[in-house]
Amino acid sequence: MYWFRNGSSLDLLPWLLAFLLAWLAGWLLASHAFKLSRNERLIAGLGLGVVLSAWLVNVVGCWLPASLAFWAAPLLLLLVGGLAAWRSPRRPLLARADLRIWPWLVAGLGFVWLFLLWSKGLALFDEHKNLSLISVIGNGEIPPLYHEPNFYLAYHYGFHLFAGGLMQLGKLLPWSAFDVAKSLAWGISLLLAGVLGRRMTGSVWGGYATTAVLALASGVRYLLTMLPPGILLRADSLVQLQGTSSSIGLPFSQALLAGWPVDGGPPLAYPFAFLNGILQPFVMAHQGPNIFSALIFLLLWLLLPRITGRFSTLVLAALFAMWALVWESSYALFALGLVGFAAIHYFRKRDLNLPYLPAALAALLLSAPVVLLQGGTFTEMARGMLTASSQAAGSLLNALMPHSAAAQAEAANFLGFSLRWPPAIVSSHLGALRLSSPVELLVALFELGPIVLFAPLLTAWAWRRAQAGEWILGALSVAAWAGLLIPIIFEYQTDRDISRLTSQALLIWGLMLVFAISDRAARWRPQVRVAAIAALALACLGGLLVAGIQMTAASSTQLGDGADKLDAELASQVWGTLPEDARLFGPFGSSTILTGRLAGQLLDVPAEGSVWDMLEKQPSLDAIRSHGFDYVYIDSRWWGNIPAAARANANLDAGCVVTVAEVWDNSRVNFRRLLDLSNCN
């Protein structure tokens, strides 16, 4: 019901083989394309293998069927890794000493298992969106469509390429593929944080501390409960809860003491005071793309200072391109930081003579045309801009882009920025907290957490280290300030999303704070170091409580998006079996997830009064066929909400209709059914 479409764990073996091939390829690249230590190569290779093989799936999946694309990607990557080894003067091919890191790998496996226990019992954050994408990508829809015909999706679907492989090669069901992919990426991210921390601090304990900060750091909203009641009562009229948090239905001061009413949450509700609308603790990163983004961020931090030549630059360009496909805001912010630091350094010194800085800029530059052509957010933005400005330019771009020659495609829901007045700090839970209001500013500072107070000291520390050669700290410092200031000054149409920039800034400063504390050359007074340690402890307390709350979900199983045993049984029979050119009609969301074929729009509910909406309310064989649909998926949840007269007139039991699959529960009340209408004219 939860795990495999065919019910056998042996079905995972092909995916496991492809995963190990990708890891081997990444290990070769880490060993021969970068100057890494023996404690870093195997884990960095694991990250490289996972990220680059998923990126190659996006490349080859445009031309190959899914059954070949998910095999071709790791094999191509292995070829690239072999080429790197052949070009490298270093020997041996792979060092046995690299395997001495095995205790860390065991710990990483424990992290994966822990997060999988949590994920299996939770169904949080964009479940429909993620499951639909994983299902269609696993079935070979690369790049994924937004809706028919040939309107491509402006979305960060890079993570879903990794999860789609678990469906195609591992024969997992959509929800288990989602959970396993998240858990693997989460465990690898923590391992990379440990390796990075060990390098930056020079100690194993520094690696442990870096891992803990990545996993647990957040804001300190809970400390607001210690303020005088009068301040919180004043905040009630100023702070308006946003999104899911508004469902609490209480004033802000009382909501702090309430549970967070989120669908798919743990049996014991998350305490609202210990959550955060800017930097959710990484233990609660159940979206998927945000985990994969952190993985790429840490991997780049490890690799950029260890470039060996042009081959390294090409590998880094692919990593940058994949980051843009996974979490475009973090990619853009890092690019802004890197270019901004290089510009500042050049105008001050009149050169770029810092180790490997020109190579890093070249990798970023090489990634730009790939980002504009590979699919996803930036591609569709570029396509929409060119289509709007020039029919000829749009046609040229379509000729260069896979699957787009048939029709002009357009970006979905992309609106611009505008100036924000008055300036404010944005929380996805609490909205825009104005800097002009002392009470709102106070709430915003608690939402940001104490790490932000060390930003000036960290900037000075990072700049000194950057001028000494560690330029990546300078680039990250510029990126962090941009991430903090841009949402304060600019407003985005979907304003809660802009808090991702602030989240990235806080993540950078949190990790830097660990490194600065351990740096004896930082010239910080002992009192400042103690205050910094206390700030990190306070920032991690909320994440620790959230992790404990999630333990209550470890013994349960949620399939996600309201799915149940009947959905699992139907998916086991029909997923991936429909013809490639088949058009499917059915209830929004579930029909796409269970079959792997796009039905309606991929992310958004069809508009009121649209053809899809009318067919859902009054389905009929003639109307469905007249709009070109070959298959209909029916479940009792949708069918039972249709008036009896409309059901009787639907004529979906006509002699030309073929039942492809049908499952019932024991009561013979609830059912799932897939019908083939292609013989009906």
Task: Kindly give the pairing relationship between strand 151-152 and strand 631-635.
Answer: unpaired
The pLDDT of residue 63 is 92
Distance CA 614, CA 616 (A): 5
Ranking 489-493, 504-508, 545-549 by mean pLDDT, the lowest is 489-493
Contact predicate 465/476, CB 8 Å: no
CB proximity list for 80: less than 8 A, separation 6 or greater: 25, 29, 52
- Is 514 within a domain? no
- Report the pLDDT averaged over residues 186-210: 96
Q: List, in sequence order, the alpha helices (H) in 2-126.
A: 13-32, 41-60, 66-87, 102-121
Q: Please check whether residue 624 is in contact with residue 612, taking contact to mean a CB–CB distance below 8 angstroms.
A: no
pLDDT attached to residue 304: 95
Assess whether pLDDT exceeds 50 at residue 482: yes
575 within domain boundaries:
yes
- Quote the pLDDT of residue 406: 35
Asked if the structure places residue 601 within a domain, the reply is yes
Instruction: Report yes or no: 575 and 594 within 8 Å, Cβ to Cβ.
Output: yes
Reading the block at residue 75, the tokens are: 């094999």
Q: CB–CB of 187/108 below 8 Å?
A: yes
Sign of CA dihedral 244, 250, 252, 254: negative
* Helix (H/G/I), strand (E/B), else coil: 138: helix
Confidence of residue 380 (pLDDT cuts 50, 70, 90): confident
Residue 547 and residue 216 in contact, taking contact as beta carbons nearer than 8 Å = yes
pLDDT band at 412 (very low <50, low <70, confident <90, very high): very low
Cα distances (Å, whole numbers) of residue 266 to 166, 274, 313, 329: 25, 15, 44, 29
Q: What is the pLDDT of residue 604?
A: 65
What Å distances lie between residue 302 and 71, 289, 435, 618, 654, CA to CA? 28, 20, 36, 57, 63
Nearest to 448 by CA among 538, 377, 374, 534: 538
State the pLDDT at residue 677. Answer: 92
Q: What is the DSSP string of 245-262?
A: GGGG-S-HHHHTTSB---
CA distance 214 to 193: 7
Backbone angles phi, psi at 235, to 5 degrees: -65, -25
Q: What is the mean pLDDT of residues 563-590?
A: 90
Question: Looking at this protein, which amino acid is placed at residue 612?
Answer: W
pLDDT tens digits, 512-559: 999 999 998 888 999 999 999 999 999 999 999 999 999 999 999 998
The yes-or-no verdict on residue 393 having pLDDT over 80 is: no
Distances (CA, A) of 492 to 191, 414, 486, 496: 34, 10, 10, 8
pLDDT of residue 125: 76
- The separation between CA 415 and the C-alpha centre of its own chain, rounded to angstroms, equals 21
List, in sequence order, every residue forming a beta bridge with 417; answer none if it has no partner: 492
Q: Is the pLDDT of residue 168 over 50?
A: yes
Q: Is residue 458 part of a domain?
A: no
Say what angle helices 471-489 and 455-467 make with each other, to 10 degrees. Answer: 140
Long-range Cβ contacts of 582-585 (<8 Å, 24+ apart): 582/630, 582/631, 583/148, 583/628, 583/629, 583/630, 583/631, 584/629, 584/630, 584/631, 584/632, 584/633, 585/612, 585/615, 585/619, 585/624, 585/627, 585/629, 585/631, 585/632, 585/633
49 and 185 Cβ atoms separated by less than 8 Å:
no
Tell me how crowded residue 206 is: count the other CB atoms within 10 A of its CB: 20
How many CA atoms within 13 Å lie on the side-chain side of 240? 5
Domain total of the chain? 1
Residue 608 binned pLDDT confidence (cut-offs 50, 70, 90): confident
Can you give the three-state secondary structure of 645-678, one letter per residue? HHHHHCCCCCCCCEEEEEEECCCCCCEEEEEECC
**Higher pLDDT, residue 137 or 615:** 137
**Rounded CA separation 554/539 (Å):** 24
Is 624 within a domain?
yes
User: pLDDT confidence of 408, banded at 50, 70, 90?
Assistant: very low
Which band of pLDDT confidence, cut at 50, 70 and 90, is reported for residue 390? Answer: low
- Structure confidence at residue 463 (pLDDT): 93
- Cβ contacts of 408 within 8 Å, gap of 6 or more: 387, 394, 398
Looking at residue 399, its pLDDT comes to 52
Lowest average pLDDT, out of 138-152, 258-272, 502-516, goes to 138-152
The pTM of this model reads 0.93
Task: Give mean pLDDT, residues 167-174.
Answer: 96
609 or 575: which carries more pLDDT confidence?
A: 575
602 lies in which domain range? 565-676
Mean pLDDT of 75-81: 97
Q: Residue 88's pLDDT band (boundaries 50, 70, 90)?
A: confident
Pure H helices in 374-425: 377-389, 391-400
In terms of phi and psi (left: phi > 0; alpha: psi -120 to 50; beta: otherwise), the region of 375 is left
Lowest average pLDDT, out of 65-74, 520-529, 642-651, goes to 642-651
Is 595 within a domain? Answer: yes
Q: For residues 566 and 399, which has the higher predicted lDDT (pLDDT)?
A: 566
Task: Answer yes or no: is pLDDT of 414 > 90.
Answer: no
- Distance, in Å, from the CA atom of 21 to the CA atom of 38, rounded to the nearest integer, reads 20
The angle at the Cα of 645, spanning 641 to 650, to the nearest 5 degrees, equals 85
E strands present in 153-220: none
Cα separations in angstroms, 592 against 164, 182, 578, 602: 14, 21, 12, 8
Top mean pLDDT of 41-50, 375-384, 386-395 is at 41-50
Interhelix angle 41-60/310-326, nearest 10 degrees: 70
* Token pair listed for 190: 């923590």
Q: Over the range 233-257, which residues count as b (16 or more CB within 10 Å of their CB) and which as e? A: ebbeebbebbebbeebeebbbebbe
| pLDDT higher than threshold 80 for residue 452 | yes
Sign of the Cα torsion 277, 414, 362, 289 reads positive
pLDDT at 613: 81
- Contact (CB, 8 A) for 123 and 281: no
Residue 153, pLDDT > 90, answer no
Q: Determine what percent of the chain is predicted with pLDDT higher than 70.
A: 94
Domain membership flag for residue 634: yes
- Which of 135-139, 261-265, 369-373, 539-543 is least confident? 261-265
Per-residue 3-state assignment (H helix, E strand, C coil) for 57-89: HHHHCCCCCHHHHHHHHHHHHHHHHHHHHHHCC
Q: What pLDDT, on the 0 to 100 scale, is given for residue 668? A: 87
pLDDT at 392 over 80: no
> What string of DSSP letters covers 321-356?
HHHHHH-HHHHHHHHHHHHHHHHHHHHHHSS--STT
pLDDT at residue 606 in the model: 72
Structure tokens at 468: 């000494």
* Structural tokens at position 352: 């770029």
Classify residue 441 as exposed, middle or buried by CB count within 10 Å of its CB (0-12, 13-18, 19+): middle
Q: How confident is the model at residue 51 (pLDDT cuts 50, 70, 90)?
A: very high
Lowest-confidence segment of 320-324, 508-512, 586-590 by average pLDDT: 586-590
Under the banding of pLDDT at 50, 70 and 90, the label for residue 603 is low
What pLDDT does residue 396 have? Answer: 47
Closest CA to 252 of 278, 287, 277: 277
Residues with Cβ within 8 Å of residue 398, at least 6 apart in sequence: 383, 404, 405, 408, 409
> Could you tell me if residue 469 is inside a domain?
no
- The pLDDT value given to residue 402: 47
Question: What's the whole-number mean pLDDT along residues 302-306?
Answer: 95
Rounded-to-integer distance, Cα 252 and Cα 221, Å: 11
Average pLDDT, the chain: 90
